[in-house]
């Protein structure tokens, strides 16, 4: 899928089933490297990033069976390096490093790829592993890591909050000798899900979801079964779909407590929000949203992965809205495409200022990254006329059946 035809002037209403979390499933797949016993994982979303992660695991020698449930057997890993053409495709491939090092004492991977939303360094990942006793050589864009014997547990103070690096260190510490403390850890729900998964395999992790994670290393892990948490960013994206089209929606099979900061902002925009055990209902009652002022921040703050979607909401809201991006340094690329659709936008340093207008106009737009893709498709759904959205290959990296789910809500999107 590389180009979509999106009819405008739609109100998006109805029910949507939320898929499993991309940002929990990806690291959990790589965590299976830590054990030689069989694993079963459910609620894994069908995404290109997931498929690339599975290809990487198979390359290492992992046996995979994938029908509804993903069955993984990492007992016969016999390769400890991964090929450039796969590593380069996903940022998540960095999570091969910690588990290979922890279980086999060696790993060799190229620097990972990922969305162009910023420099995406991995210094915090590598520093963490070095503090656990790893020797790491960086040459020709390749990371060559090894440790004599086992990694050694350590107190590690993260100089910057990093989801990825917290996951790398937590995974490696699982099999290290002794205790590890990760201080100033990221608190995202995905980290809690990974810790829950690892503990179900016999790991000894407490405090995941708080600023301090305590890990007591164990000799080896067992097998287990795990269900991936729902995708909070997909949920937020569909809530915005209803909010910008003055519609109403119920998101099913989701986790409201993972979206507190997003729900607060949607309420501020004038949405009526109701939540239950595994559902969220949003109703705009036919009203245009009110503009919002937002700062992105590490969890439980407002998620950077919802920044583009809320900027779109601000472009058609009543009033002037601002979003300050504090996590990534280049995450406003989509703004020029929204300006092509008539949006009144100014970028001042790391803040996007939107002067609300009643309606966008259709255009020929180009996606630059995953969340921008979803945002431009939603913009096409509400703009006047027919919008062509190009480079939508970014979309299927992180959203399962997004056009189909939107069409069930009243959109008219066709692949061309
Ligand atoms: C994860 O990326 C997510 N990706 C991102 O989602 C998400 O936006 C991000 O966390 C923040 O929540 C996956 O889970 C696959 P970070 P990650 O390490 O781990 C800097 C999406 O759309 N940093 O928390 O790469 C970094 O440059 C994606 O689903 C270092 O300086 O994010 C950034 O400024 C986009 N050195 C900040 O920390 C490092 O070694 C936070 O990055 C690592 C990160």
Which pLDDT belongs to residue 115? 62
Looking at the chain, the whole-number percentage of residues with pLDDT higher than 70 is 99
Domains of the chain by start residue, with CATH: 3-19+230-415 (3.65.10.10), 22-225 (3.65.10.10)
92: Cβ below 6 Å to ligand 1? Answer: yes
How do residues 121-152 score in pLDDT, each as one tens digit? Answer: 999 999 999 999 999 999 888 999 999 999 99
Q: Is the peptide bond before 62 cis (omega within 30 degrees of 0)?
A: no
Tokens of 78: 């016999």
Q: Is the dihedral of CA 32, 33, 39, 44 positive or negative?
A: positive
Distance (angstroms) between ligand 1 centre and the Cα of 266 equals 24
- Nearest CA to 201 out of 178, 181, 219 is that of 219
- Calpha distance 135→337 (Å, rounded): 45
- Calpha distance 291→258 (Å, rounded): 23
168: Cβ below 6 Å to ligand 1? Answer: no
Which pLDDT belongs to residue 365? 98
pLDDT of 103 over the 90 cut: yes
For the residues of 95-120, what is the DSSP string, one character each? Answer: GGHHHHHHHHSEEEEEPP---SSS--
The pair phi, psi for residue 114, each rounded to 5°, is: 130, 180
Mean pLDDT of 298-305: 98
How do residues 350-375 score in pLDDT, each as one tens digit? Answer: 999 999 999 999 999 999 999 999 99
How do residues 111-125 score in pLDDT, each as one tens digit? Answer: 887 667 888 899 999
- Calpha distance 29→25 (Å, rounded): 6
- Calpha distance 211→213 (Å, rounded): 7
Which pLDDT belongs to residue 104? 97
Number of C-beta neighbours around residue 415 at 10 A: 10
pLDDT of 7 over the 70 cut: yes
Which pLDDT belongs to residue 116? 79
Question: Pick the residue with more confidence: 156 or 68?
Answer: 156
**Considering the chain, what is the average pLDDT of its residues?**
96
DSSP H helices in 231-304 = 232-244, 260-268
Length of the chain: 416
**DSSP 8-class letter at 217:** -
How do residues 185-240 score in pLDDT, each as one tens digit? Answer: 999 999 999 999 999 999 999 999 999 999 999 999 999 999 999 999 999 999 99
Distance (angstroms) between ligand 1 centre and the Cα of 415 equals 30
Distance (angstroms) between ligand 1 centre and the Cα of 163 equals 6
Which pLDDT belongs to residue 68? 83
**Is residue 3 helix, strand or coil?**
strand
Which pLDDT belongs to residue 141? 87
- Nearest CA to 240 out of 282, 280, 202, 208 is that of 282
Mean pLDDT of 48-72: 95
Mean pLDDT of 32-41: 98
Nearest CA to ligand 1 atom 26: 120
163: Cβ below 6 Å to ligand 1? Answer: yes
- Nearest CA to 282 out of 290, 292, 271, 291 is that of 271
370: Cβ below 6 Å to ligand 1? Answer: yes
The pair phi, psi for residue 383, each rounded to 5°, is: -70, 160
Residues forming a β-bridge with 294: 323
Mean pLDDT of 290-303: 98
Strands (DSSP E) found in 134-237? 135-139, 142-146, 155-157, 179-183, 205-206, 212-216, 224-227
Q: Is the dihedral of CA 51, 6, 309, 255 positive or negative?
A: negative
Which pLDDT belongs to residue 209? 98
- Calpha distance 33→36 (Å, rounded): 8
Which pLDDT belongs to residue 404? 98
| Of 114, 123, 164, best ligand 1 pocket probe by most atoms within 8 Å of the beta carbon | 164
How many angstroms separate the Cα of 339 from the Cα of each of 9, 344, 368? Answer: 18, 6, 15
Which pLDDT belongs to residue 114? 62
Q: At what angle do helices 163-173 and 22-31 cross, to 10 degrees?
A: 30
The model's pTM:
0.97
**Is residue 197 helix, strand or coil?**
helix
360: Cβ below 6 Å to ligand 1? Answer: no
Task: Locate the ligand 1 atom nearest the alpha carbon of residue 398 and give its number.
Answer: 29
- Calpha distance 370→117 (Å, rounded): 10
- Nearest CA to 354 out of 341, 367, 364, 368 is that of 341
- Calpha distance 109→91 (Å, rounded): 12
SS3 content of the chain, % helix, strand, coil (to 5): 35, 25, 40
Number of C-beta neighbours around residue 106 at 10 A: 15
Q: Is the dihedral of CA 44, 45, 51, 56 positive or negative?
A: negative
Task: Locate the ligand 1 atom nearest the alpha carbon of residue 188 and give its number.
Answer: 12
Tokens of 9: 């002037």
């Amino acid at each position: 899928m590389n180009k979509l035809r999106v009819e405008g002037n739609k109100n998006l209403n109805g029910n949507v089933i939320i898929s499993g979390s991309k940002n929990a499933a990806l690291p959990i797949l790589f965590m299976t490297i830590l054990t030689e016993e069989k694993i079963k994982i459910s609620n894994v979303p069908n995404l290109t990033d997931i498929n690339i992660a599975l290809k990487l695991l198979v390359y290492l020698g992992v046996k995979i069976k994938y029908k509804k449930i993903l069955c993984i057997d990492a007992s016969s890993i016999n390769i400890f390096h991964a090929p450039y053409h796969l590593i380069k495709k996903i940022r998540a491939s960095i999570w091969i490093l910690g588990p290979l090092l922890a279980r086999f004492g060696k790993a060799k991977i190229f620097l990972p790829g990922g969305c162009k939303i910023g420099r995406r360094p991995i210094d915090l990942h590598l520093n963490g592993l070095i503090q656990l006793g790893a020797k790491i050589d960086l040459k020709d864009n390749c990371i060559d890591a090894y440790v004599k014997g086992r990694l050694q547990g350590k107190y590690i103070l993260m100089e910057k909050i990093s989801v990825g690096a917290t996951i790398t260190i937590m995974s490696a510490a699982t099999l290290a000798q002794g205790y590890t403390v990760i201080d100033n850890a990221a608190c995202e729900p995905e980290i809690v899900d990974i810790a829950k998964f690892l503990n179900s395999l016999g790991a000894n992790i407490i405090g995941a979801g708080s600023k301090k994670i305590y890990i007591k290393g164990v000799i080896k892990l067992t097998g287990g079964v795990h269900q991936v948490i729902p995708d909070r960013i997909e949920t937020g994206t569909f809530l915005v779909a209803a909010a910008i089209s003055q519609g109403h929606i119920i998101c099913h099979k989701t986790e409201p407590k993972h979206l507190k900061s997003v729900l607060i902002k949607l309420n501020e925009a004038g949405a009526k929000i109701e939540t239950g055990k595994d559902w969220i209902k949003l109703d705009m009652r036919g009203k245009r949203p009110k503009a919002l002022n937002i700062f992105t921040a590490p969890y439980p703050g407002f998620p950077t992965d919802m920044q583009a979607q809320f900027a779109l909401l601000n472009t058609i809201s009543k009033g002037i809205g601002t979003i300050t991006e504090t996590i990534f340094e280049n995450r406003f690329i989509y703004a020029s495409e929204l300006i092509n659709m008539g949006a009144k936008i100014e970028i001042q340093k790391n803040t996007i200022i939107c002067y609300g207008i009643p309606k966008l106009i259709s255009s020929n737009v180009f996606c630059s990254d995953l969340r921008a893709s979803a945002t431009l498709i939603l913009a096409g759904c509400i703009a006047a006329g027919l919008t062509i959205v190009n480079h939508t290959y970014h979309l299927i990296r992180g959203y399962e059946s997004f056009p189909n789910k939107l069409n069930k809500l009243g959109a008219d999107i066709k692949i061309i």
